[in-house]
Structure 1
Amino acid sequence: MSINTHGFVAADHETAADTYYPHHAEVMDRIGAERGWGPTNKRAFTAATGLRGHLTLGDPEEVAEKILFQHEVFGHDRALVQLALGTVPHRAVMTAIELLGTKVAPTVRAEVARRSPAPVDSMP
């Protein structure tokens, strides 16, 4: 099973939010106008970036924490974070990919392995 979210990773939460929000808002407002939703706003965006929100956004530690929180709830074995939304600058997306691969993924893999029970056939 997989969890698939929109989100963004940067060196710190403020940079992630400031980089991602304008592009997220533009896309969501355009789609919302087509589908009858009201416009988005910064308050709703900020709430969506929290631990229980639908966006996976923040520094590497926050993103890993959110993926691990979701893993506790859903037990998924794959997480996909859609970083390139709208016109997010390419350099920022490349940095986010690097942080996902070098910081978030190793942290999540190690913690999931630590939390997992030992396979039955390896028990004495």
Structure 2
Amino acid sequence: MQYLAGTDSVHTTAALCDYLEGRATSDDAVTVVATVDETTAPQDAREALTVAPVRLAGVGSVETAVHEGSPESVLPAVADEIGADELLVGAYSGNPAATATVGSTTTALLEQTTRPVVVVPIPEL
């Protein structure tokens, strides 16, 4: 299985890895993508990607990449490029108290893609 995980922080990447640790095997591949736009600095994106190779050491292949652009435009394009079977994103609505909702980025992804999208809860710090 080919997983595509979209992240914007170390905390989100850790939550996505928690989800994958019980599912992804040595036969699977995971690509973790951080995007850089007006809301995410390049250093934050690079730091977000450092978690995955360590946490997912038992997975067959783990690749990371930083892409310029908004997550809702980059992630579907990368999913098409790599033939992702499943797209993973963190649940976040910009309001930590609103745990029952997802943010505008996740909503846009759900509206655009025909791939299964898993919205992973992000635990509070």
Relative contact order, higher structure (CA 8 A, sep 6+): 1
Quickly name the TM-score band, shorter chain normalised.
0.3 to 0.5
TM-score normalized by the length of structure 1 = 0.37
| Structure holding more strand per residue | 2
| Structure holding more helix per residue | 1
